[in-house]
Chains A and B, each alone.
Chain A
Amino acid sequence: MLTILFDGTAYGMLLFVLACGLSVTLGLMNFINLAHGAFAMAGGYCTVVLVNRIGVPFALGLPLAFLVTALLGGLFERTLYVHVYARPHLDQVLFTIGLVFMSVAATDYVMGSSQQFVRIPEALAGQFNVFGIGMGKYRLLIIVVCGVLTLALQFILAKTRFGSRLRAAVDDQRVARGLGINVGAVFGITFAVGSGLAGLGGALGAEILGLDPTFPLKYMIYFLIVVTVGGTSSITGPFLASILLGIGDVAGKYYVPSLGAFVIYAIMIVVLILRPQGLFARGAAR
């Protein structure tokens, strides 16, 4: 029972790191980016190549995964996404689904269709036993890393100049522009960092989530659940939603394995019907 809670939390925090970039994109530009998972996959494969083939240490592989995907994200944002921001939602959906399809096929072409594993240092294998609860060392690492990242994000958003600009831009783009904030640049940076986080999540999560070319499609719905259920008005909402989703999914698969993700989808639909703005959205404004 507690192990489920533990595994679920690790899984949930991973989901949060994967999806928080998406939540900001959606909140900031009202942009539906179904291709977010493609950046996570890029991070995963990047680590595979670095660690397994080139022999970079795992601890260095993770930050590199972040950097590479952040650059990739920034590049895509500047060259492609900027053209689609002002378009109707249907266009955004089509465009980003197109990117997903391309990334799936391209990865398949370059890396092959089989499942990939990142070589993890021996020190991280095995379990701790605390009060009879088996805690995987690797999952503990995930919780620590993701926890630190979450705190850092919260700090950046709440305390720094960039954070206040970002919040101003989320609240009202036009006003923010009027105040002399370069919304385009803010968004570019945010997009890059969000992609980078997704890449880091993909690298960390390859072990738990599995890594193959269909990754962006398989997890698309999970990311979307996090942002729609959590709402986009803060990062606390998506965070709580991720944890709930993580625990719910792990518990669901443990207790009613035959139904797979059925429970999750059902809960999502119920939440969206009752609270179209998300479970944790503040009030009904917006």
Chain B
Amino acid sequence: MAILETIGLAKRFGGIVAAADVTLAIDKGARHALIGPNGAGKTTVINLLSGVLKPTAGRILLEGRDITALDPHQRVRLGMARTFQINALFLDLTPLEAIALAVSERLGFGIDCWRLVGRKGAVADEAAEIVERFHLGDVMHERTAILPYGKQRLLEIALAFACRPRVLLLDEPAAGVPEAERHELLATIAALPADVTVLLIEHDMDLVFSFADRISVLVNGALFVDGAPDAVARDPRVKAVYLGEELDA
């Protein structure tokens, strides 16, 4: 049963076709990976799904409901959250403040302009839990701007997670993280609750194959191959695309 579906999703930037007729179904509880060479349109798909971009054509269904016309924040409230390939954090807030913000927004306290942020016990409890889950305890009172990059990437996911999504879209969560901090990050991703559906974009094939139970390959904005990991791994066309890219590089 698909929790998230796209039907003929397309996006053009002037002459550039960044996504073309993407029809994709992501099953409930899946660990779904979206891979493809640089510039294939993976981030564009995430931007379309999360509402940052409006599609040129096509529809998006979340749990059977058409969300194509909704604003980003409305999609979050319906249970879909995302992370950003390039950090999009609140540099002047501490991780704790940022997480508490996301939690209190989800619990509907966002329009409360009279009580203090920490007054609701529920917010503090949940923020603490998320801080712990994402190993941010030792830096939670620092300004985000001065955190090590690995911690910032953790916070990226923590913020999305704080929205309690049923569908979580991760855009290259481990990109650029130094080896020393990488393990912590991967372990955290692996430990995400099983009932959260995850769509993962990643270039690191080891991570993709150890994590995903289904893989879609995107090339030049179009869906190229879609299937189980071993089937995709064996597909000669996928090999050709990736070998071609490696030769280019």
Check whether chain A touches chain B (CB < 8 angstroms).
Answer: yes
**Binary CB contact string for chain B from 92 to 125 against chain A (1 if under 8 A, 0 otherwise):** 0000000000000000000000000000000000
In B143-200, the 8 Å CB interface with A consists of none
In the complex, what residues of B have CB within 8 A of residue A283's CB?
14
In the bound assembly, the distance between CA atoms of A285 and B14 in angstroms comes to: 8
CB contacts between A and B, total, < 8 Å: 3
In B1-51, the 8 Å CB interface with A consists of 13-14
Chain A nearest CB from B191 CB (Å) reads 40
In the complex, what residues of B have CB within 8 A of residue A285's CB?
13-14
In the complex, what residues of A have CB within 8 A of residue B14's CB?
283, 285
Q: Which residue of A lies closest to B13 (CB)?
A: A285
Q: What is the total number of residues of chain B having a CB less than 8 Å from a CB of chain A?
A: 2
Chain A nearest CB from B13 CB (Å) reads 8
Chain A nearest CB from B130 CB (Å) reads 32
In the complex, what residues of A have CB within 8 A of residue B13's CB?
285
Q: Which residue of B lies closest to A283 (CB)?
A: B14
Q: What is the total number of residues of chain A having a CB less than 8 Å from a CB of chain B?
A: 2
In the bound assembly, the distance between CA atoms of A283 and B14 in angstroms comes to: 8
In A188-232, the 8 Å CB interface with B consists of none
In the bound assembly, the distance between CA atoms of A285 and B13 in angstroms comes to: 8
Chain A nearest CB from B71 CB (Å) reads 18
**Binary CB contact string for chain A from 273 to 286 against chain B (1 if under 8 A, 0 otherwise):** 00000000001010
In the bound assembly, the distance between CA atoms of A283 and B13 in angstroms comes to: 10
In A232-256, the 8 Å CB interface with B consists of none
Q: Which residue of A lies closest to B14 (CB)?
A: A283
In the bound assembly, the distance between CA atoms of A221 and B14 in angstroms comes to: 33
Q: Which residue of B lies closest to A282 (CB)?
A: B14
In the bound assembly, the distance between CA atoms of A285 and B12 in angstroms comes to: 12
Chain B nearest CB from A61 CB (Å) reads 48
In the bound assembly, the distance between CA atoms of A45 and B13 in angstroms comes to: 49
In the bound assembly, the distance between CA atoms of A283 and B12 in angstroms comes to: 13
Chain B nearest CB from A23 CB (Å) reads 23
In A258-283, the 8 Å CB interface with B consists of 283
Chain A nearest CB from B81 CB (Å) reads 27
In A149-169, the 8 Å CB interface with B consists of none
Chain B nearest CB from A194 CB (Å) reads 30
Chain A nearest CB from B55 CB (Å) reads 15
In the bound assembly, the distance between CA atoms of A30 and B13 in angstroms comes to: 23
Q: Which residue of B lies closest to A285 (CB)?
A: B14
Chain B nearest CB from A214 CB (Å) reads 39
Chain A nearest CB from B192 CB (Å) reads 37
Chain B nearest CB from A209 CB (Å) reads 40
Chain B nearest CB from A273 CB (Å) reads 19
In the bound assembly, the distance between CA atoms of A210 and B14 in angstroms comes to: 46
In B52-107, the 8 Å CB interface with A consists of none
Chain B nearest CB from A47 CB (Å) reads 46
Chain A nearest CB from B127 CB (Å) reads 30
In the bound assembly, the distance between CA atoms of A94 and B13 in angstroms comes to: 36
**Binary CB contact string for chain A from 33 to 68 against chain B (1 if under 8 A, 0 otherwise):** 000000000000000000000000000000000000
Q: Which residue of B lies closest to A284 (CB)?
A: B14
Chain A nearest CB from B94 CB (Å) reads 22
Sort A-B residue pairs by CB-CB distance and give the 3 closest, nearest first: A283-B14, A285-B14, A285-B13
Q: What are some 3 contacts across the A-B interface (CB < 8 A)?
A: A283-B14, A285-B13, A285-B14
